[in-house]
Amino acid sequence: MVEIVKPGLEHLPSYKAALERGWSPDNVRLEEATREQLAAIEVDPVAFLAGLDDPEAKGPPVTLPDGTKVPRLPGFRRWIWDGEAAGSIGFRWQHGTAALPSHVLGHIGYAEVPWKRRRGYATEALRLMLAEARAVGLPFVEITAKPHNPASHKVILANGGKLVDRFFEDAAYGGAESLRFRINL
Ligand SMILES: CC(C)(COP(=O)(O)OP(=O)(O)OC[C@H]1O[C@@H](n2cnc3c(N)ncnc32)[C@H](O)[C@@H]1OP(=O)(O)O)[C@@H](O)C(=O)NCCC(=O)NCCS
């Protein structure tokens, strides 16, 4: 069985072990994020966990891949859990609107540890996260995925997503072409 959990101290050893195996929960900043998280867990595990749950955007600005800093949106992260850490799924939004700034690549992002892929976990995790997005009052969510990421496309389509746009990511991300999907809630 797979579920999404609010990250807690009881989940941390398994999550940390996944980072130590080289997995990154961040599809944009990859190894850099893995290193940063391991360091943060070492310094103050409780503060690290608290920072993952930030529906009022109290946290520090977000650093984009080119180093630009932008204000943090309200958001929270859940860990994909099957008795062990299986992945991470995050949700961010703006209060009162479904719109996102152009430098925010979708409302929801996810990553599965490589050794637990192709078990339906990401599809189920997204289904569960959509309920949380509905609960904050959004009429739809947008999710972006690169054209060459069929696994992610399948996860989105299996949850009722429709392709709505082809666009170029902001220069801060390198300007690559990407796809925007929408899921009505
Ligand atoms: C995308 C990702 C989250 C999918 O996780 P997952 O738990 O393996 O997904 P699921 O098991 O729910 O699989 C979804 C579908 O994609 C298919 N799939 C999985 N990996 C695939 C691959 N490499 N190529 C083609 N299809 C693939 C699965 O077979 C399944 O299809 P099915 O329902 O027809 O069988 C995972 O591959 C991952 O973490 N990738 C790196 C990070 C990433 O790309 N995140 C998304 C950014 S938009």
Q: Is residue 35 part of a domain?
A: yes
Q: Is residue 81 part of a domain?
A: yes
Distance (Å, whole) CA 168 – CA 129: 26
What pLDDT score was predicted for residue 22?
98
What pLDDT score was predicted for residue 72?
96
- Rounded to the nearest angstrom, the distance between the alpha carbon of 109 and the centre of ligand 1 is 13
Distance (Å, whole) CA 175 – CA 110: 21
Mean pLDDT along residues 107-121: 98
Distance (Å, whole) CA 137 – CA 170: 27
Percent of residues, the chain, with pLDDT higher than 70: 100
What pLDDT score was predicted for residue 88?
98
Mean pLDDT along residues 83-112: 97
What pLDDT score was predicted for residue 26?
95
Helix (H) or strand (E) holding 169: none
pTM of the complete model: 0.97
Q: Is residue 117 part of a domain?
A: yes
Tokens linked to 110: 């996810």
| Ligand 1 nearest-atom number relative to CA 146 | 48
| Number of independent structural domains in the chain | 1
User: Is the distance from CB of 76 to CB of 54 less than 8 angstroms?
Assistant: yes
Q: Is residue 94 part of a domain?
A: yes
- Rounded to the nearest angstrom, the distance between the alpha carbon of 44 and the centre of ligand 1 is 33
163 pocket-lining for ligand 1 (C-beta < 6 Å) = no
19 pocket-lining for ligand 1 (C-beta < 6 Å) = no
Mean pLDDT along residues 91-101: 96
For the stretch 135-174, pLDDT in tens is 999 999 999 999 999 999 999 999 999 999 999 999 999 9
Q: What is the CATH number of the domain that holds 107?
A: 3.40.630
Domain span at residue 111?
A: 3-138
Q: Is residue 144 part of a domain?
A: no
Band of the pLDDT at 49, cuts 50, 70, 90? very high
DSSP 4: E
What pLDDT score was predicted for residue 4?
98
Q: Is residue 181 part of a domain?
A: no
Q: Is residue 46 part of a domain?
A: yes
What pLDDT score was predicted for residue 46?
98
Q: Is residue 153 part of a domain?
A: no
Residue of 117, 124, 146 to test ligand 1 pocket, by largest number of atoms within 8 Å of CB: 117
Tokens linked to 135: 């609960």
For the stretch 20-47, pLDDT in tens is 999 999 999 999 999 999 999 999 999 9
> Hey, whose CA ends up nearest to atom 14 of ligand 1?
155
